[in-house]
Structure 1
Amino acid sequence: MNRFKEVRADIYSGKALFSLILIFTVFHSKIFAQTTDSLEIVKVFPSKSNLLTRFNKQLSTFNLNTKLDFIQTWENYDLRLTENFNSTFIKTSEKSIRDEQLFSLQNSYQFQEKLSLGLGLSSSIFSDNRKIEINQASSNQFFLFSQAQPYDNFYFVPFGGYMHNRQVLNDDNGFLYGVEALLQDYTISDLIISSNLKFRNEDISPRKNLIRHYGLKLNSVFAEEVANIISASYSQNRKDFYFEADSITSHEFSISNNIQSRTETNYLLQDRLSYANLFGLFLLDMTGIVHWRTIERNTKYKSLQNVTTSLFDSEINELKLDFESQLTYKSDKADGLFRFLYSERDEKNLAKRIPSASENIYQDRVEQEARKNNNSIRASLSFIGSYRISTLDIIAISMLHNKLKYDTPSEDNFDDRDELLSIVKIRYTRKLTPFFEAFITAEGTYNQTTYIFAEKSSNNNINRILKLGSGGYYKGAKLSSLNNFEVSANYTVYDFEDLNPNIRSYSFRQFTALDSTNYLLSKRIKLSLYGYIKLSEQGDLKWNEFKSRPTRYLQEIYCEPRLSAAYNLIQYSFGLRYFSLSTFRYKLNEKNLDSEFRSIGPIAEILISGGLGLYLRVIGWYEFITVNSVSQKQQTNLNVEMTWNF
């Protein structure tokens, strides 16, 4: 593990907050372009076979994740195999084991230039030893398919087969059938059309699952620097689940398990307009999205002998409107990105009437669902940019301002609130010598939550965070070192703490010193050191007087010296890992030791990278753990990660 590179990427570059802003806004705009109803037969597979596996053992948790994609073609014969396996084991007094496996095999033979026939197999297994509603489920299926390409860039695939499905000790069998179609980048004049279709039925009586999906994308390039992309999609996904029936329903319908159907329907319309060279200075990107979603939950067997509010089916209607605009500027001395996001969301929860059921009970359920109704408005402004003052000086700034207004129409719901979040970060970097750069950072956060009604106004609070940091990065012929020092103060103030003895304003202050140093003993041998010290103090706060009474103190120390050696594509390293955490309580303004945790032991790592498409990283450490000066236990930790492209 090259911890020096990881630390420098996160701290020295100063892009951690910048990345948060970008991830938030980009994810928000891209999420609607994705669909869970992706094509299964007509899809793009990796160009090469690859194997990815990760094993992680830390404390009492073991996790194994393996993914295999195998693609092979022999003249007219094509084979595609996919295997996904994920297992989690938690070793406690009650052992927890959770396994998920997905296997898929498709093979086809091309009889003609644009016609092929194939056979597909798939299996999925889920198992969880916990006592949850559905702790075991499996599905096995095989199907025949034919892939035709009547026109260039257009694929049409009908399929049909048989399925065995097991859920809550119920075995269901039946036919599956459907069709998939794909149109890729079909050009008419300056218009590029892409579309996909999926129709799938699973008739596993008495249950029925189905998928309906249609997507359309129109890409129009008006000029060399202006483009407009319009996307529309419709999808419907129905899944039937077993759940244990109550005694009355079980006796009346002679069943042990009832069936609930969950049907989700989505409609989406998106328009994206891009100007690549606005006024010769900017790049402008604007996106508008309308998303309508309904979720229906229907129970198959209903007994009217004992009608309660839980007997009625429910429906959720959600409408979401989004607008996003991004303006980018770049020159030799400065660059910047400004993003504006506006979003409205409205959710309504409904109960479905049962004709012969009591009207009073139905109205009670209607009121229960109405309490969940909500609508929200979110607006966000963000900016990230830098200015090169000279060849030696750079100043960078990032800002985020976010406002949320959340309302609930029901008179029995008091979650109405306003939330405000503002973050500003400034970083100044100076190259003092060809070998050394120094930097100074300042960051401020203001977060306010205000509940509208008195029933929850005791949660009203303002959180203020201030961070100041400085450090430097040195890189010489043999020595490279990154040092960072930071002080932070976190103040959380409740508006009505005088009225509620269970809520108190508090402060949290912290000092952090971090060092990451590498020294080359030779071309193949390196000595490295990574470590940090964190000193933290928590206390009761009186904001109006700006006084704090310390209540708790924490001292955290981590140190990891290593010796590394490289031979061809293999890098070995071994060293010592030390971690300690001491907590103190204050009594009469005196600091008294409350608890002490220490861990020390050897650490080793092997890294293979760059040859034959193989990446292998194995890191493990052994801990001798001491708690309050008493030796408690010894523990092994192991992480294995492998990627092989073949």
Structure 2
Amino acid sequence: MFKVGKRDTEWWISLIIIAISPCMVFAQIGISSSPEDWKIHLTYNQKNNIYFWKGTAAVEKPLNNGIITLQNNFDINRIKTLYQDDKWKDRNQLHIQYRLPFNNNVASIITARSEYLSDLQSGFLNNITENSLNIQAPVTMHQNIAVTPLLGFKWDKRTDTPDKGLRHGIDVSVYETKIGEYTTEGYMNYMSENLNARHNNNHYIAASLHRTFHEGTADTLQYTYYRRRRDYYVSLAGNLETRKEVSQNVSNILTYNIFDRTDMRIKTEFLTGNVNISSAGVNDVIIKRLRKDRTNNIEITLNTLKGQHTARVHFNYENAQQRYTSTTPADRVFGAVPFDTPDNNSKKLALGLSADGVPFYSHRYSVQCFIEKFQYDTPSRNNYDDRDEFRVWFNGGYVYRINPGLSVTINALANLDHLVYIFRRRSADNNWNRIFQTGSLVEYQSPSGIKVTGNFSVLANYVDYDFDDEFVQVRSFVFRKFSMNQTVTLPVTHKGRFETHVQLDLEENGLLKWKQFVQNIIIERKILTGSIKYPYRMTPVLQLVPGVSTFIRTETHHQTQAVHELQKRLSKINDIGISIEIEYQTGPSSLVTFNAAKRFVKRGTVKENFQYVDLSVNWLFPPEADL
């Protein structure tokens, strides 16, 4: 059944550089202007039967002693159909804010927001109508404490159920504050919404304590606490589901200098949390699902610098636990029900090394590699996912700059992953996944402005199952790919230049016998793409960019049995396109662009042609006007 795969000699004929590539170009019109206090951006696109409208309008102006800001965003998507009503998806967001400072330490902010979403495309219950009005009063005390209370009203409609109610909250920030030899920082956020039957709230606390003992030695202790509740509808009848999350994280980072130009960083972290989801089931009995998480993590990093070489050694150990509980109306815990996620423990142990430097003048290297072991265990009797994984990864590169205009880069990558299932029931899935890749890049630029960039790469992916029966089903497979592309820029005059690009991809998929290192080719693909453009600046404000492109894809399917080939099926796609792009500078801050393309496609004996035109209108203004 297996045979050594051979490449056709015609694969290499296509290595001749041609200047034609497939192009799906879209037409685009943009207009810019620059008032000092407003910004407008409008975009229209069409791709086949899909239409897009997007826009932003924003203005910021002084009003009395304050500043008023208004911004509106809309996003409209239409799918045009022949036999049904068109499918629309509309989103509109309106934001109005007025900020009035009373003095350097006290201000007031009034914010109104409105959001509308109508989704007739996805089929999900995504429709939202939301309006809110908030009042905030930021206060700064002692230059390092900021307090911002909030009071507001919210009207929220999801599906067909409207809710309304008050919302309140507060933000407290404590910036760098010295306490003896320690520097502290803190942040607290609280937000609560009572919307009829729905109750949403957030609690977040973060604090850090930092001390520098002497140069190169410091210690930082951090603590975060997070609690969140969300009520949301799960049906048009108004049934609610409540999701509660709680998490705590304590970490410590110690850095110190071991000796000259060698530093060590040790980070320890402990995290706990749980997620509780409750909903009303049959006869309004509450059904609960609970997940508890616990994670311990330690990282040790050693950095050293010697001359023009740097090296880094990294060690990481992580131990994580997840525990799940679900209850039925009879208060029975389904620990062994198939659709329940099983309790699990996981451990990860990793060791990594990286280095880079300059061994010789005009030479540079970089190397990264790591070894990792991952272990996943479940105590459930009905779960057979327990497994061990062993991973090895390597990546290296070498750059040689021959002269100021010519450089050569060589790189290589290897990835080995061994997956072993502990239980016999899944041992047939044990496998080795091996990935190897190598390639090179050549970049050249002449004093006259000629630029040539060429690179190639070879990729091989071998997936070898430990237990394969060629008389039943062979699952081990191989994927190989050769890729080459080249780009050339050739100035013709001071107004125009040629830009060419060509890319060749050769791919094959097949069945594999790793021990004999033979394959049985199933699919072969040859993909050739290329393009040629001629940007020509007719005047200082007008540029034309005509272009031609092509795309050729050939795919061969082989059906074989033990000795001889039974059938070969061939599919081919030819694509030729022409494009035009126009750029017109109408003023110092105004630009108009137009881009369109026509493509002629042949799939087997079927011939088609497509036109692509995208239109957009843009007013882009200075960064200080951005909101």
Specify if TM > 0.5.
yes
Tell me the alpha carbon deviations over residues 491-510 of structure 1, each in whole angstroms, 9 at most, x when there is no partner.
11112221894552111222
1:619 shift after superposition: 5.9
Mapped contact 1:604–1:620 kept (Cα < 8 A): yes
Mapped contact 1:348–1:370 kept (Cα < 8 A): no
1:604 shift after superposition: 4.5
1:226 to 217, 221, 225: 217
1:335 to 281, 299, 310: 310
> What is the one-letter code of the residue matched to 2:475?
R
Mapped contact 2:336–2:380 kept (Cα < 8 A): no
Mapped contact 1:141–1:163 kept (Cα < 8 A): yes
1:287 to 267, 270, 285: 267
> What is the one-letter code of the residue matched to 2:243?
R
Aligned residues: 577
CA distance in 2, matches of 1:333, 1:118: 54
Alignment partner, residue 438 of structure 1: 408
Mapped contact 1:371–1:410 kept (Cα < 8 A): no
1:230 shift after superposition: 2.4
Mapped contact 2:450–2:490 kept (Cα < 8 A): yes
Alignment partner, residue 408 of structure 1: 378
Q: Between 536-545 and 128-137, report the one with greater CA deviation.
A: 128-137
Mapped contact 1:326–1:337 kept (Cα < 8 A): yes
Alignment partner, residue 36 of structure 1: none
CA distance in 1, matches of 2:526, 2:582: 32
Q: Secondary structure at the match of 1:112?
A: coil
Q: Secondary structure at the match of 1:313?
A: strand
State yes or no: 1:599 paired with 2:569: no
1:77 shift after superposition: 1.0
**Residues 369, 620 of structure 1: CA spacing in aligned structure 2 closer, same or farther, 3 A cutoff?**
same
Report matched runs for 1:224-623 at 5 Å.
224-244=215-235, 256-275=237-256, 278-300=258-280, 303=283, 312-352=287-327, 357-358=329-330, 362-364=332-334, 367=337, 371-477=341-447, 478-498=449-469, 501-565=472-536, 573-586=545-558, 588=564, 592=568, 594-604=570-580, 621-623=597-599
Tell me the alpha carbon deviations over residues 206-237 of structure 1, each in whole angstroms, 9 at most, x when there is no partner.
11111112222333333343333322121222
> What is the one-letter code of the residue matched to 1:435?
G
**Residues 324, 176 of structure 1: CA spacing in aligned structure 2 closer, same or farther, 3 A cutoff?**
same
Alignment partner, residue 631 of structure 1: 607
1:146 to 137, 150, 166: 137
Alignment partner, residue 10 of structure 2: none
Give the root-mean-square deviation of aligned CA atoms. Answer: 3.6
1:263 shift after superposition: 1.2
> What is the one-letter code of the residue matched to 2:425?
E
CA distance in 2, matches of 1:329, 1:606: 53
> What is the one-letter code of the residue matched to 2:323?
K
Mapped contact 1:582–1:593 kept (Cα < 8 A): no
Mapped contact 2:405–2:446 kept (Cα < 8 A): yes
Name structure 2 gaps, 5 residues minimum. 1-36
> What is the one-letter code of the residue matched to 1:274?
T
Q: Between 614-623 and 259-268, report the one with greater CA deviation.
A: 614-623
1:241 shift after superposition: 1.1
1:71 shift after superposition: 5.8
* TM-score between both structures, scaled by the size of structure 2: 0.81
> What is the one-letter code of the residue matched to 1:393?
H
1:140 shift after superposition: 0.9
**Residues 389, 301 of structure 1: CA spacing in aligned structure 2 closer, same or farther, 3 A cutoff?**
closer
CA distance in 1, matches of 2:254, 2:41: 38
Q: Secondary structure at the match of 1:409?
A: coil
State yes or no: 1:119 paired with 2:94: no
CA distance in 1, matches of 2:251, 2:541: 48
1:50 shift after superposition: 7.5
**Residues 517, 499 of structure 1: CA spacing in aligned structure 2 closer, same or farther, 3 A cutoff?**
closer
> What is the one-letter code of the residue matched to 2:453?
L
CA distance in 2, matches of 1:520, 1:532: 21
CA distance in 1, matches of 2:530, 2:475: 36
CA distance in 1, matches of 2:209, 2:58: 32
* TM-score between both structures, scaled by the size of structure 1: 0.79
Q: Percent identity?
A: 19
CA distance in 2, matches of 1:294, 1:322: 18
CA distance in 1, matches of 2:312, 2:429: 35
1:172 shift after superposition: 1.0
Mapped contact 1:259–1:301 kept (Cα < 8 A): no
1:302 shift after superposition: 5.4
1:58 shift after superposition: 5.9
**Residues 203, 415 of structure 1: CA spacing in aligned structure 2 closer, same or farther, 3 A cutoff?**
same
Q: Secondary structure at the match of 2:361?
A: coil
CA distance in 2, matches of 1:283, 1:228: 13
> What is the one-letter code of the residue matched to 1:518?
T
1:584 shift after superposition: 0.7
Name structure 1 gaps, 5 residues minimum. 1-47, 246-255
Mapped contact 2:166–2:194 kept (Cα < 8 A): yes
Tell me the alpha carbon deviations over residues 528-561 of structure 1, each in whole angstroms, 9 at most, x when there is no partner.
1122101112211111211111111100111022
1:331 shift after superposition: 4.7
CA distance in 2, matches of 1:401, 1:76: 62
State yes or no: 1:78 paired with 2:67: yes
CA distance in 1, matches of 2:354, 2:366: 8
1:162 to 133, 137, 153: 153
> What is the one-letter code of the residue matched to 1:549?
N
**Residues 228, 613 of structure 1: CA spacing in aligned structure 2 closer, same or farther, 3 A cutoff?**
farther
Q: Between 284-293 and 476-485, report the one with greater CA deviation.
A: 284-293
1:322 shift after superposition: 2.5
1:164 shift after superposition: 0.6
1:403 shift after superposition: 2.7
Which has the larger share of helix? 1
**Residues 271, 169 of structure 1: CA spacing in aligned structure 2 closer, same or farther, 3 A cutoff?**
same
> What is the one-letter code of the residue matched to 1:475?
Q
Q: Between 180-189 and 365-374, report the one with greater CA deviation.
A: 365-374
State yes or no: 1:172 paired with 2:163: yes
1:144 shift after superposition: 1.9
Mapped contact 1:59–1:637 kept (Cα < 8 A): no
Q: Secondary structure at the match of 2:102?
A: strand
Q: Between 256-265 and 429-438, report the one with greater CA deviation.
A: 429-438
> What is the one-letter code of the residue matched to 1:636?
Y
